[in-house]
Amino acid sequence: MKTTPKTSAKVTIFEVAAEAGVSFATVSRVINNDVHVKPETRQRVLKTMQRLGFVANRQARSLAGGKSNTIGLLVPDLGTAYIGEIIRGIDTELSWSDLDLILYTTHRTAAKEANYVANLAHGMVDGLLLVLPRNPVDYIETLTLRKFPFVLIDHQGTAENCPAVGATNWQGAYTATEYLIQLGHERIGFITGSMDLGCSEDRLKGYRSALRTHHIPDKPELVYEGDFFQPDGYAGACALLDLENPPTAIFASNDVMAMGVLDAVRNRGQRIPDDISVVGFDNIPQSAMVYPPITTVQQPLEQMGRVAAQMLINILKKNEKESNRIELPTELIVRSSTSSPRDRAG
């Protein structure tokens, strides 16, 4: 009952070997495209494999061979379109290789993050893609020391010198702010993202730099600290509009919060863009579909995913990290949520 090869049971290289009349080592060679196999023999083995419906056991291969042909993707959560776009890019790129993808969600728990990284780096996966890492310092050193392949996505916190792909957050925020200034806005509210993320800081800095360049005082009361979620966009807009001297435009650090702003403004009976101009960041698909369509800073999310996957694959192949940090350009997408404040008169 033990070695009885039932028809529907798993087929191992041994069975294939026996059927094909070769040793199992040869079968292994065929599987691994080893050159040292006579074409004739290879064909015979290949046919047998097909006939028997042989499927190599990845666990075993990885145990014996030392690599898993799997990469791990660590994301904070799955709640927003933002992550979805990035995953899509990664998936696209991976579909051309034969790497599998294991998905880990940290649910915004820094502890879980470090924990996962430790586990994953321990044989489960060959490389790691870390989206929006919270506390990379906790493990980047370990990873680097061990020479474990990884790429950071959308992170620009510490000045660590490691592979990462991000977007020109500073530039994007600067451009958008400047655009509002050129429309004639002088009181521009700003809602930040989670300030423990590098990108949030960069966006805030870009906003401030634009103001400075145009000699507009940077009033602290016009900056509201948000967290990238819609409710905070709503709250931020309310806070800003409640000011004695409210802003004529609000720049939210992402589209999701900008939608919260839209709601808040509408609920107060004000119109967009006539009364208040609104700008977002990311250019997630919804931003074009809401009413009014939101002027936003496009972040090439899907491309970021693709590029990151490419980088990781390269590192895996060459066994050395080549490029260090790639910044993909952001672009201002002007839609209908912004106009000159002078329009009010009209």
Query: Minimum distance from CB of 171 to a copy of itself (Å)?
Result: 28
Q: Dihedral of CA 223/238/168/149: which sign?
A: positive
Tell me which stretch binds a copy of itself (CB under 8 A): 15-23, 204-212, 289-297, 323-331: 289-297
DSSP SS3 for 255: helix
Q: Per CB under 8 A, does 122 bind a copy of itself?
A: yes
The interface partner of residue 102, options being a copy of itself, DNA, none and the CB cut-off 5 to 8 Å by kind, is a copy of itself
Tell me which stretch binds a copy of itself (CB under 8 A): 39-47, 104-112, 265-273, 315-323: 104-112
DSSP SS3 for 337: coil
Which of 107/214 has CB closer to a copy of itself? 107
Q: Per CB under 8 A, does 267 bind a copy of itself?
A: no
Which of 101/216 has CB closer to a copy of itself? 101
- Burial label for 59, CB within 10 Å (0-12, 13-18, 19+), is exposed
Q: Per CB under 7 A, does 168 bind DNA?
A: no
Which of 286/340 has CB closer to a copy of itself? 286
Which of 18/110 has CB closer to DNA? 18
| Of residues 138-157, those binding a copy of itself (CB under 8 A) | 145-146
Q: Dihedral of CA 119/123/124/125: which sign?
A: positive
Whole-Å CA distances, 125 to 11, 38, 262, 330, 346: 25, 33, 43, 32, 61
Kindly write out the interface string for residues 2-41 of this chain, putting x where it contacts DNA by CB under 7 A and - elsewhere: -x------x-xxx-------xxxxx-xx-xx--xxxxxxx
Alpha helices by DSSP H, 21-147 = 24-31, 39-52, 58-65, 81-94, 110-119, 137-146
How far apart CA 159 and CA 157 sit, in angstroms, is 6
195, 343, 217: which is closest to 276 by C-alpha?
343
Rounded to 10 deg, the angle between the 301-318 and 81-94 helix axes is 40
- Burial label for 293, CB within 10 Å (0-12, 13-18, 19+), is middle
| Of residues 35-64, those binding DNA (CB under 7 A) | 35-42, 54, 56-57, 60-61, 63-64
Residues 257 and 224: beta-carbon distance below 8 Å? no
Binding region for a copy of itself (CB under 8 A): 8, 10, 53, 55, 57-60, 62-63, 68, 70, 78-79, 81, 84, 87-88, 91, 95, 100-105, 107, 118-119, 122-124, 145-146, 259, 285-286, 289-292
Binding region for DNA (CB under 7 A): 3, 10, 12-14, 22-26, 28-29, 31-32, 35-42, 54, 56-57, 60-61, 63-66, 123
